[in-house]
Structure formats: C-alpha cells, structure tokens
C-alpha cells in the first residue's frame, strides 16, 4: 500500500461522522478565526455546492439576530480574524453592515469578505470599505464567456469580470484575492489566459481551484481527473513564476514579496456561525444544519445548531491539523507540540516515511511539501472533499429539504 493510500485508510478509520441534535459551546485554547456564513443568493449558479437560500429581505433581519445569538452561546469574545462567505454576502449591504458592526470589535485581525463581481461597482466597494471590510476575495471564476456559461455562472459575463477586477484592485483594500476555477475538460489555454489576466491587475493573491464535482451540482454526473488537474496546476505555477507570483499553498499564488494571505480554510482553528458553517478546535470538527428553519429553531431554544460532528483524539487531530498546515505551505513541528503535546510515534513515522519518499523536505522544525508532495496533497484533498465534506453536505442538504417539507405540512 502506497503512502497516499495509507493516509486515506487512516482517514476512513479515524474520522467517523456522527449525527447530533445540537451541541454545547466549543472550547478553544487559542483565539480561533471566525467564519460567518451568509446563505442568501439572488440567483443560484450551477457549479456551486455551498449552502444557499433564495434572497428574501424579510429573512435577513432575523438571520442577523440568530447570528448574534449563536455567537453569544459560543461564549467567545475574541477572534484572530473574521471571514464572511456564502452565499452572496456582498449582495445585501445593510445585512453586511449589521454583521460587521456587531463583530468588528471582537478582532484586531482582518475582516474579509467574498465579493461577487456583479456587486463590485466603485460605489458599492467604497461602501464595503466604509463598513469595515479590509480583505476581499473577488469571485471572478473566469474572464472567458464560454467558461462562465459552461459552469452556469449567474449575474456575470466577461465584461462584468473585467470591470470588477479593475474596480476592486483600485478600491484601496488592504488585500485583494481573485478566485478562479478551471475545468480540466475545457481547453487549457482558457485557464492559463485567465491567470495571466488576473495577475495583470496586480492583486495580492490569486486562488485557482479545480472544478469540484459535488453531489447536487450541475457536475454531479462527471468525474474529476487529479492527474490532468495537476498538470494544469503545474503549468499555472510556471505562468505565475514568470509574472512575479509564487505558489503559496496547494491552490493559491501570491506576489513574491507578500507575507499575508487570504485564507479561511487553512486557519489553525476556526469557529463557524450561520447555516452550514463548520468549526474545528483541535478535538472536534462540527457542522451546522443547512436548514434555515431548523437553524432558527435551535437558537430559539438556546441550543447550538450543530448537526454533524467528527470527534478526534490526539493522533487524528494532529493528522487533520498537519494536512491543512501542509496544504497551506508548511508544517511547524514546534507549533504542533505547543498545541497538542509530544508528537505521537506513528505520526513521526508517517512524516519520516513521506520525507524518505521525497514528498516532504525538512529544515529543523519546518516541514514543507516538495513538488511530488504537492501532487500527493492534491489527491488527498480531493479524496477528503468527496468522502467527507460532500457526504456531510449531501446529508445535511437532504435533511434541510425534508425539514422544509415537514414544516410546510404543519402549516
């Protein structure tokens, strides 16, 4: 059995998804990052797997109240950063203002927002800055009309893409990330040109994701091809290098001299609030209900709206933590011991085995993936996505539909 297969087998045995009916507050030893999910969208894009609800201004006021109530139940007063995603959190600026106004004093770190290109006019971006957002991730996905149409992107064409990146990169934000997506089934030149175009506007970071083929999306009947995706990513890395950007993590490129990053995924520990939001504290990974009605109901009764959990002992927690650290570019062993205590023998053996095979390179306490290691991480990441994240989301999405039908039958 190869090393990649060993890691996957460990994951199957160690990460058991459990159904729960709410949970108590999560304890954190260090301030976590805060992720706030805003599920409301004016239109649904065919490729998007995230929890989303048709925008209704009558719901947003109650949702803001519920977010505050959930945060109060978690009993955490300070966060290392705040990331707001969705959904389309840039669509309703009144709701955004209510969220940022309430939480902004709880962090001295960045306040980050996902922005849809259709919401990136100069006037709206100025308002977003005034609200208090200083990091933005612009969801371009592509500058190519054919690519945008093939993925079912709504409220956007190539003209909107180009106008939005020009406005956003000149709007005065502290940090701009541009999100791109590629489908290996389309011509490679399309994503290469997309990356060149994005870089030409000088954002601090460009994130380039392979199209994920989640259940309940337009791509559910197709399959991913990790090898083809990896070949494309390596060509993109060469393109980035020739334009003053380096590969900073598995799927991101940043300016050579840029020390910061836009990332809500590879945070050490994070707390998520809102429908579908996930949290990780080093002992447990948990995910909230996808149902808005159930989300409100949980909080009305004073319970946190958690529906899925994966409990972790020391080895499994270190394995999970180490994967995401390597995904983000490096693993600091001294930090691992600071957070979890002495490294378990089998974790040390696993890291030594990966190093001996040329997948990792170590300098004192810092471990980084090699080029071949990045390829292995890509394969493991997609396996993790399809075997755990997609399973959790599919179950919760089905339960949300069932809960909605049940609620309607009572009316």
Q: What residue ranges do the domains of the chain occupy?
A: 16-255
**What CATH class is the domain 16-255?**
alpha beta
Phi-psi region of 261 (alpha: psi -120 to 50; beta: other; left: phi over 0): beta
For the chain, how big is the Rg over CA atoms in Å? 21
pTM above 0.85, yes or no: yes
- Locate 302 and state its tokens: 């004073």
Long-range Cβ contacts of 259-264 (<8 Å, 24+ apart): 260/110, 260/175, 260/204, 261/205, 261/328, 262/112, 262/135, 262/137, 262/175, 262/177, 262/204, 262/205, 262/207, 263/328, 264/33, 264/35, 264/83, 264/85, 264/112
CB contact at 8 A, 222 and 213: yes
| CA 119/CA 164 separation, integer angstroms | 8
Residue 362 belongs to what H/E stretch?
strand 360-363
Categorize the per-residue pLDDT at 138 as very low, low, confident or very high, splitting at 50, 70 and 90: very high
Quick check: 283 and 341 in contact, CB under 8 A? no
34 forms beta bridges with 82, 271
Are the C-beta atoms of residues 222 and 46 closer than 8 Å to each other? no
Enter the DSSP assignment of 212. P
Q: Of all residues in the chain, what percent carry a pLDDT higher than 70?
A: 98
- Residue 256 in this model has a pLDDT that exceeds 90: yes
Does the pLDDT value for residue 337 go beyond 70?
yes
pLDDT score of 406 more than 60: no
How much is the mean pLDDT over the chain?
A: 95
Residue 192 pLDDT > 60: yes
pLDDT value at 354 more than 70:
yes
**Separation of alpha carbons 275 and 52, rounded Å:** 9
User: Tell me, what's the pLDDT at 402?
Assistant: 83
């Amino acid at each position: 059995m190869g090393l990649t297969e060993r890691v996957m087998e460990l994951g199957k045995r160690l990460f058991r998804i459990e159904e729960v009916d709410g949970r108590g507050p999560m304890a954190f030893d260090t301030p976590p990052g805060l992720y706030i999910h805003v599920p409301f969208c004016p239109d649904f894009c065919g490729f998007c797997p995230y929890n989303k609800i048709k925008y209704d201004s009558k719901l947003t006021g109650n949702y803001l109240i519920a977010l505050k109530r959930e945060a109060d139940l978690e009993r955490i007063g300070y966060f290392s950063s705040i990331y707001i995603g969705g959904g389309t959190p840039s669509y309703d600026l009144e709701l955004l203002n209510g969220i940022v106004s309430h939480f902004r004093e709880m962090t001295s770190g960045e306040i980050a927002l996902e922005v849809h290109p259709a919401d990136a006019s100069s006037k709206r971006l100025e308002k977003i800055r005034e609200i208090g957002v200083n990091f933005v991730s612009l969801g371009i996905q592509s500058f190519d009309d054919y690519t945008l149409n093939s993925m079912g992107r709504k409220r956007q064409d190539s003209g909107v893409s180009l106008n939005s990146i020009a406005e956003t990169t000149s709007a005065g934000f502290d940090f701009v990330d541009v999100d791109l997506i590629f489908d290996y089934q389309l011509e490679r030149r399309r994503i290469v040109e997309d990356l060149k175009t994005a870089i030409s506007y000088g954002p601090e970071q460009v994130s380039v994701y392979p199209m994920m083929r989640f259940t309940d999306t337009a791509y559910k009947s197709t399959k991913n091809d990790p090898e083809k995706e990896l070949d494309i990513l390596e060509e993109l890395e060469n393109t980035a290098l020739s334009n003053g950007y380096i590969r900073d993590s598995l799927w991101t490129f940043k300016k050579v001299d840029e020390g910061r990053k836009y990332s809500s995924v590879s945070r050490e520990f994070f707390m998520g609030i809102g429908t579908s939001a996930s949290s990780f504290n080093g002992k447990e990974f948990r995910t909230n209900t996808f149902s808005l009605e159930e989300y409100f109901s949980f909080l009305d009764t004073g319970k946190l709206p958690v529906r899925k959990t994966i409990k972790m002992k020391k080895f499994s927690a270190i394995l999970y933590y180490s994967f995401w650290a390597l995904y983000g570019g490096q693993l600091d062993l001294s930090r691992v011991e600071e957070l979890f205590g002495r490294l378990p023998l089998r974790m040390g053996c696993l890291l030594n085995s990966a190093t001996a095979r040329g997948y990792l390179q170590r300098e004192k306490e810092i471990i980084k993936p090699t080029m071949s290691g990045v390829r292995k991480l890509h394969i493991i990441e997609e396996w993790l996505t399809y075997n755990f994240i997609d399973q959790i989301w599919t179950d919760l999405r089905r339960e949300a539909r069932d809960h909605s039908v049940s609620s309607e039958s009572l009316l």
